[in-house]
Structure 1
Amino acid sequence: MYFDSSFIILIPALIIAAWAQFKVSSTFEKYSKVGSSGGYTGAQVARILLDSYGLYDIPVELTPGRLSDHYDPTRRVMRLSEEVYYGNSVASIGVAAHETGHAIQHKERYAPLVIRNSIVPVANFGSNASWILFLLGMVFGLKGLVSIGILLFTAAVVFQIITLPVEFNASNRALKILESKGILYGSELGGAKSVLSAAAMTYVAAALTAVAQLLRLIFISRSDD
């Protein structure tokens, strides 16, 4: 049986990714049971924070799925999962504020967000086409295709790396706004921070996995020489 030794490069990143996913799920579950003293729902918090920054035209909508919350900069709409939209827990409020942070970044043209949005098409194409070109190049001995595949995957890696400051900044904004607006207090704020910190680790894990995968591609291409 053939064993791909290059897969060893991925193992540490995959372990971290699995741990990060478990951490975010368990932390969200824990703080979704802790109600906020203000009693606001995630949707209400998002609306309050958006309006406070003059973003009256950005609607807050429901979206299916768990932890599927996101801000869409193309359509300028915030979408919150049912648990966050209707929930008045510390976890729901933290997530809603985090997504509002992205909307504020968009308004202020936060540089890492602008860069990330500008490379989305290249990153999407790179992540989909890179392996196809890479494998075709390896099978038919076309080193040019191999190099193009690696280059395209590099674009996807850059996207994952530039995502990190975007996500960390959105969380920092969220916590500061929640505190300044008096929406969360003391331990409630600490709970929201725990939820957002756990969520941030999933992006760190994604970046590490992408880098490890890139190293694996380079290793495979050179081992064939």
Structure 2
Amino acid sequence: MDILGPYTPLILLIFVASMLIQAALTRSYRKWSGVRNARNLTGAQVARMMLDENGLTHVPVNAVPGNLSDHYDPLGKTVNLSEGVYGVPSVAAMAIAAHEVGHAVQDKVRMPALVLRGKMAVPLSLGMNLAPFMVLLGAVLHFSGLLWVGVVLFGAALVFHLVTLPVEFDASRRALAYLNGRGLSGGGEGQKGAQGVLTAAALTYVAGFAMALAQLLNVLGIARNND
């Protein structure tokens, strides 16, 4: 019985790298959360301005509890900003708020990658809860059918992460273009700070994709070894 695949060390390495990336994001967020943006606008105000200018006056901006819990809800059509973003006039708050509105704009124009990600999210979340058990049971019982079901589910997760990358990168591109185009970033250090926060956030999605790839390779190795 072999339940540890050949890529287990790679998974551990990527896990450590992802922790370092998350720490870098936290440091960048904390640094630029303490720096006021050039226009002294809160995250909620920036979000409202960007939404209105993109014809999304019907989309509300809500405050939600938590730290870095900001997100756009495509079902409820709401932009949800964390406590450290909603009412704070910082460079970090400005960048994160504009990024979430970027997703709202993507939804308005029906960006294909965003639509696909939305359709995959619910069934994939259910499948990924079962995938590790499929692989474990298949390896323990030497039942290759269960193993290969697990492989398919991990493969679907990789596709989800792959689709997520252009969605997140595009939202950041829209955010920076808006902030710079309206002079909200203030140029110089403000622009550098906004870009730094969004770049650090983007790297977390790259790490997520790398982890999904390593996991898929690992379960493929397990499946082949147990055939």
**Structure 1 residue aligned with 2:159:** 158
Aligned: 1:132 with 2:133: yes
2:191 aligned residue (189, 192, 195): 189
**Structure 1 residue aligned with 2:179:** 178
Q: Provide, for residues 52-75 of structure 1, a one-character-per-residue CA deviation record: whole Å limited to 9, x for no partner.
A: 111111111111110010001011
**Structure 2 residue aligned with 1:55:** 56
> What TM-score, normalized by structure 2, do the two folds share?
0.94
Residue identity opposite 2:203 in structure 1: M
**What is the identity percentage for the equivalent residue pairs of Structure 1 and Structure 2?**
42
Residue identity opposite 2:73 in structure 1: D
> What TM-score, normalized by structure 1, do the two folds share?
0.95
SS at match of 2:80: strand
Residue identity opposite 1:123 in structure 2: L
1:203 aligned residue (181, 202, 205): 205
Give me the whole-angstrom Cα distance separating, in 1, the residues matched to 2:16 and 2:78.
34
Q: Which runs of 5+ in 2 are unaligned?
A: none
Query: 8 Å contact 1:122–1:155 — kept in the other structure?
Result: no
> Higher mean Cα deviation, 162-171 or 152-161?
152-161
Residue identity opposite 2:195 in structure 1: K
Residue identity opposite 1:224 in structure 2: N
Aligned: 1:70 with 2:71: yes
Please report how far the alpha carbon of residue 121 of structure 1 lies from its aligned counterpart in structure 2 after TM superposition. Answer: 2.1
Residue identity opposite 1:214 in structure 2: L
Query: 8 Å contact 2:5–2:222 — kept in the other structure?
Result: no
Query: 8 Å contact 1:178–1:184 — kept in the other structure?
Result: yes
SS at match of 2:63: strand
Give me the whole-angstrom Cα distance separating, in 2, the residues matched to 1:183 and 1:65.
26
> Higher mean Cα deviation, 84-93 or 5-14?
5-14
How many residues align? The count is: 224
Please report how far the alpha carbon of residue 5 of structure 1 lies from its aligned counterpart in structure 2 after TM superposition. Answer: 6.3
Give me the whole-angstrom Cα distance separating, in 2, the residues matched to 1:36 and 1:93.
7
Please report how far the alpha carbon of residue 119 of structure 1 lies from its aligned counterpart in structure 2 after TM superposition. Answer: 1.1
Query: 8 Å contact 1:101–1:171 — kept in the other structure?
Result: yes
Query: 8 Å contact 2:124–2:156 — kept in the other structure?
Result: yes
* 4+ aligned runs moved over 6 Å, structure 1: none
Please report how far the alpha carbon of residue 158 of structure 1 lies from its aligned counterpart in structure 2 after TM superposition. Answer: 0.8
**Structure 1 residue aligned with 2:83:** 82
Give me the whole-angstrom Cα distance separating, in 2, the residues matched to 1:35 and 1:121.
38
SS at match of 2:56: coil
Residue identity opposite 2:199 in structure 1: S
**Structure 2 residue aligned with 1:29:** 30
Please report how far the alpha carbon of residue 4 of structure 1 lies from its aligned counterpart in structure 2 after TM superposition. Answer: 4.3
SS at match of 1:78: strand
Q: Which runs of 5+ in 1 are unaligned?
A: none
